[in-house]
């Protein structure tokens, strides 16, 4: 039996044997061998930094030693360096419901969002409001504040249930993160986009926690612009460049403001004046970090080989199993589910609120169970279906139960805060 046939239908009391059985019939099981998961580590943080593909070091060595070292500047043409932002964009496009020619991989999420918010403001002159979720990952809101300050606009921060009602005739765009970084709550892309359009506003979506984690259908939802990162569920490597999406219908009209030579119609004509490229290349700005960018392809190739419906089915089964086990084995230890209980509203992560969450997560990491902590009180566990097993879920909760039952998390050294949590 496959997971997609019984997602959510776990037996009342889950055993480790049951978990092992799930792994034996998992249609995605072989993908784990494509990643390096260190011995003794249960990696539940792929929603923050995806694991390394085993093909990555060889690929990086080839780019550095052969393409850079031996072929030098000829690699801009011969190794496809110059076209990487668009060729990778075309590879990524089907994973997010976009067409070829609508996606580029470039720059950071923050910078790409600046470009698109600026373009959106030009497309809706006279309108003043940009609506975002107040509890969103802060960089999106900070960038919106920067654009608003430069353009005399207003940032409106509301929480998820108030987004639809906040959209009015003065709204130029909503800028919403598809899956909430802290809770894993899925925002309804189709409904909110339709609501924005009904009011004449644009809909911009941030896919940082959904690209590679669940099916995304940007064109099916008629989305206007989107951004997302490649170093989380797409396994592109630390700090790998982000992506941006502009649908074909907006490419001729949308204009991004960071008008560098890579966005020029003819970069090597070295013209005095700026003429935007007539295609998605207009959304590029300058020279890209080729070594890092080329590694994005390694992660994307693996993701493209996986069936996204199966990825979603396993993701649901993993998170259901984790929630059931934590509630089965850690009852009375003060954990409150901070993610939606309804699987249809939950992304590929599970968060629990706990007053001592920071120390508890430190104790878990010390024992090889790597999740993360988000202030003020959220312990967050990401479940990446390509390399997390059901037995890992069992073993992780086993360690959590031991840390709670023994009080090991109270050790003074777990109270000191590190720079990156
Ligand atoms: C991870 C994440 C980012 C990252 O932005 P960068 O500019 O690439 O650092 C932005 N927004 C959200 C919602 C994220 O989860």
Q: How far is CA 180 from CA 166, 176, 209, 233, 312, in A?
A: 19, 9, 7, 14, 17
Other Cβ atoms less than 10 A from the Cβ of 90: the count is 18
Relative to the CA of 181, which ligand 1 atom is closest?
A: 15
Least confident of 3-12, 177-186, 188-197, 377-386: 3-12
Q: What is the pLDDT of residue 294?
A: 98
Q: What is the pLDDT of residue 5?
A: 41
232 and 303 Cβ atoms separated by less than 8 Å? no
Structure tokens at 200: 């004449």
Is 137 designated active site? Answer: yes
Q: What is the pLDDT of residue 9?
A: 47
Averaged confidence pLDDT in the chain:
96
DSSP H or E segment with residue 157: strand 154-158
Relative to the CA of 229, which ligand 1 atom is closest?
A: 8
User: Which SS3 state, helix, strand or coil, does residue 242 take?
Assistant: coil
Rounded-to-integer distance, Cα 373 and Cα 369, Å = 13
Distance in Å, CA 353 to ligand 1 centroid: 22
Q: What is the pLDDT of residue 3?
A: 43
Residue minimizing CA distance to atom 13 of ligand 1 = 137
Rounded-to-integer distance, Cα 230 and Cα 108, Å = 10
Is 387 designated active site? Answer: no
Reported as a pLDDT band with limits 50, 70 and 90, residue 150 is: very high
Distance in Å, CA 329 to ligand 1 centroid: 33
Mean pLDDT of the 63-88 span? 97
Helices (H), 124-278: 138-151, 163-166, 189-198, 248-251
Mean pLDDT of the 226-252 span? 98
**pTM attached to this predicted model:** 0.96
Q: What is the pLDDT of residues 196-231, one digit of tens each?
A: 999 999 999 999 999 999 999 999 999 999 999 999
Q: What is the pLDDT of residue 13?
A: 86
Mean pLDDT of the 408-419 span? 91
Distance in Å, CA 233 to ligand 1 centroid: 12
Q: Of the residues 129, 232, 281, 312, which is catalytic?
A: 232
Rounded-to-integer distance, Cα 37 and Cα 51, Å = 7
Q: What is the pLDDT of residues 297-342, one digit of tens each?
A: 999 999 999 999 999 999 999 999 999 999 999 999 999 999 999 9
The residue whose CB lies within 8 Å of the most ligand 1 atoms, and thus the one to mutate among 181, 296, 378, is 181
Instruction: Please give the residue that has the higher pLDDT: either 33 or 13.
Output: 33
pLDDT at 359 over 60: yes
Rounded-to-integer distance, Cα 310 and Cα 177, Å = 23
147 and 153 Cβ atoms separated by less than 8 Å? yes
Q: What is the pLDDT of residues 22-35, one digit of tens each?
A: 999 999 999 999 99
255 and 310 Cβ atoms separated by less than 8 Å? no
Q: What is the pLDDT of residue 317?
A: 98
Residue minimizing CA distance to atom 4 of ligand 1 = 109
Q: What is the pLDDT of residue 258?
A: 98
Mean pLDDT of the 33-56 span? 97
Q: What is the pLDDT of residues 124-133, one digit of tens each?
A: 999 999 999 9
Among residues 3, 10, 2, 5, which one has the least CA distance to residue 328? 10
Q: Is 152 left (phi over 0), alpha (psi -120 to 50) or beta?
A: left
Q: What is the pLDDT of residue 6?
A: 44
DSSP, res 418: P
pLDDT at 112 over 50: yes
DSSP, res 259: -
Distance in Å, CA 184 to ligand 1 centroid: 14
244 and 117 Cβ atoms separated by less than 8 Å? no
Q: What is the pLDDT of residue 343?
A: 97
High-pLDDT (> 90) share of the chain, %: 95
Mean pLDDT of the 273-295 span? 98
Is 380 designated active site? Answer: yes
Mean pLDDT of the 84-109 span? 98
The residues lining ligand 1, judged by C-beta closer than 6 Å to any ligand atom, are: 108-110, 137, 139-140, 177, 181, 206, 208-209, 229, 242
Is 206 designated active site? Answer: yes
Is 114 designated active site? Answer: no
Structure tokens at 245: 């999406």
260 and 106 Cβ atoms separated by less than 8 Å? no
pLDDT at 363 over 60: yes
């Amino acid at each position: 039996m496959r997971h997609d046939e019984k997602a959510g239908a776990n037996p009342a009391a889950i055993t480790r044997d049951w978990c092992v059985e799930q792994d034996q019939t998992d249609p995605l099981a072989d993908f784990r061998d494509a990643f390096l998961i260190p011995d003794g580590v249960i990696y539940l943080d792929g929603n923050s930094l995806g694991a390394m593909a085993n093909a990555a070091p060889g690929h990086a060595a080839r780019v550095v030693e052969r393409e850079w070292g031996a072929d030098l500047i000829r690699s801009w043409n011969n190794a496809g360096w110059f076209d990487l932002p668009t060729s990778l964009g075309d590879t990524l496009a089907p994973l997010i419901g976009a067409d070829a020619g609508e996606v580029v991989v470039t720059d950071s999420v923050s910078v790409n969002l600046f470009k698109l918010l600026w373009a959106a403001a030009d497309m809706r002159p006279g309108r003043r409001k940009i609506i975002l979720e107040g509890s969103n990952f802060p960089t999106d809101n900070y960038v919106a504040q920067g654009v608003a300050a430069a353009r005399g606009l207003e940032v409106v921060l509301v929480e998820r249930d108030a987004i639809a009602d906040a959209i009015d005739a003065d709204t130029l765009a909503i800028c919403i993160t598809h899956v909430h970084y802290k809770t894993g709550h899925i925002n309804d892309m189709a409904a909110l986009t339709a609501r924005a359009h009904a009011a004449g506003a644009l809909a911009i979506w941030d896919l940082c926690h959904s690209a590679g984690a669940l099916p995304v259908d940007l064109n099916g939802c008629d989305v206007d612009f989107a951004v997302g990162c490649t170093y989380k569920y797409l396994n592109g490597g630390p700090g790998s460049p982000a992506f941006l999406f502009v649908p074909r219908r907006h490419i001729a009209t949308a204009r991004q403001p960071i008008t560098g030579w890579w966005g020029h119609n003819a970069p090597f004509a070295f013209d005095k004046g700026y003429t935007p490229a007539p295609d998605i290349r207009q959304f590029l700005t300058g020279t890209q970090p080729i070594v890092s960018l080329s590694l994005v392809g390694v992660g994307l190739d693996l993701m493209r080989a996986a069936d996204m419906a199966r990825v979603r089915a396993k993701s649901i089964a993993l998170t259901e199993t984790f929630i059931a086990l934590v509630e089965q084995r850690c009852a009375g230890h003060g954990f409150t589910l901070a993610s939606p209980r309804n699987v249809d509203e939950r992304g590929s992560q599970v968060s629990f609120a706990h007053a001592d969450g920071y120390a508890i997560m430190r104790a878990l990491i010390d024992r090889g169970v790597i999740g993360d902590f988000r202030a003020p009180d959220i312990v967050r566990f990401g479940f990446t279906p390509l390399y997390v097993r059901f037995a890992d879920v069992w073993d992780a909760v086993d360690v959590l139960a031991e840390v709670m039952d023994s009080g090991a998390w109270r050790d003074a050294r777990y109270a000191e805060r590190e720079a990156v949590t």
